[in-house]
Structure 1
Amino acid sequence: MSTTPALDIRPALSDDELNELFAASWPDHTTTAFAPLLDRSLLWVAARRAGRLVGYVNVVGDGGLHAFVLDTTVHPDERRLGLGRRLVRSAAAEACARGARWFHVDYEPALAPFYASCGFRTTEAGLMPLVPRG
C-alpha cells in the first residue's frame, strides 16, 4: 500500500460503513446501530483510504481522569502496516488533550504484544460478567 490512510478525530460515520468494516474484521459481528454508542463516546478515531473506512477505535471516558479504549478495528487488508498503533496512539493523545490522565484497555491474551507496542503495560484488573435477570 503506497499511501498512509488519513486519520480523523470524531468524523461523521454511518452505520453502514461501520458495519461493513466490522463485518470484514470480526467474523461474529452482527449489524449494530452505532449512533447510540458514539453519542456516549469521548472520542473516536477513524482511518480512511480513498474514502473507504479501513480503521476505527472508540474511546469512552468517566468524565474525569480515565479513558477506555474500545473496538480497535483494522480492515484485514490494512493489518500489520502500523495502522492499529497509529489509531490507538492518536486516540491516546486526543484523550490526554481532553483531560484524561489514565488510558485503559482490556484485551485477549493474543493481543498483548499489539497493545504493548502501543505503550500499554500489563496491570491487575478484575472483570465480572453481568447476566440479565430473567
Structure 2
Amino acid sequence: MAISYEWRGDFDNVAVDALHAEGFGGAASGVDWVARVRRYSLGWVCAWEEGELVGFVNVVWDGGVHAFLLDTVVAGGRRRAGIGAGLVAEAVRRAREAGCGWLHVDFEDDLRPFYLDACGFRPTAAGLIAL
C-alpha cells in the first residue's frame, strides 16, 4: 500500500489521540489536537494509507529559525516500514522552506538509531529539567 504524506492536512482529533495513546502508552486523553497544532505549530505531517491515519509528527517553532519535532508516532502495525522516516523527511523539508535554520528533536536512547541513522540528525549536548 502506498503511503502519502500531507503537510498541515486535516485530521480527526480522535484519530490522532488514539495514535498518540498507542504510540506513547496510556489512554486517549481527549486533547483537541486540531486547536493545539493550529495555535503552536509551524505545521504537522500526517501519513495516510488508504484514508487511514498511520503516522503523525508535530513541528513547533519559535517563530524564527528554530523548529522542534514533537509527537512523532506511527501506528503499531505499520512501524519499521519507513513511515516515521518519511514523516520526518517531510517535516525537515517544510521547516527548511519556512526559513528555519535548525530542527531540534529530543528522544530516549532506544530511538537513537531512528533519529540519528534513519533521519540524519546529529547528536548534540543539551539540557533538560523535569517539571
TM bucket by the smaller chain? Answer: over 0.9
Unaligned runs of 5+ in 1: none
| Cα pair 2:58 2:69 within 8 Å, conserved | yes
Unaligned runs of 5+ in 2: none
Q: What SS class does the counterpart of residue 95 from structure 2 fall into?
A: helix
**Structure 1, residues 26-57: CA drift from partner, whole Å, max 9, x if none?**
32243222123212110100011111100000
Q: CA deviation at 1:111?
A: 0.3
The alignment yields a C-alpha RMSD, in angstroms, of 1.1
Alpha-carbon distance between aligned partners in 2 of 1:122 and 1:29, rounded to the nearest angstrom = 32
Equivalence for 1:13: 11
Equivalence for 1:129: 130
Equivalence for 1:47: 47
Alpha-carbon distance between aligned partners in 2 of 1:69 and 1:19, rounded to the nearest angstrom = 17
Equivalence for 2:20: 22
Q: Compare CA radii of gyration and give the structure with the larger one.
A: 1
Equivalence for 1:112: 112
> TM-score normalized by structure 2?
0.92
Alpha-carbon distance between aligned partners in 2 of 1:103 and 1:12, rounded to the nearest angstrom = 23
> TM-score normalized by structure 1?
0.90
1:38 aligns with 2:29: no
Q: CA deviation at 1:21?
A: 1.6
Which amino acid in the other structure matches residue 4 of structure 1? A
Which amino acid in the other structure matches residue 8 of structure 2? R
Equivalences, count = 128
Higher helix fraction (1 or 2): 2
Map 1:62-77 to 2 at 5 A: 62-77=62-77
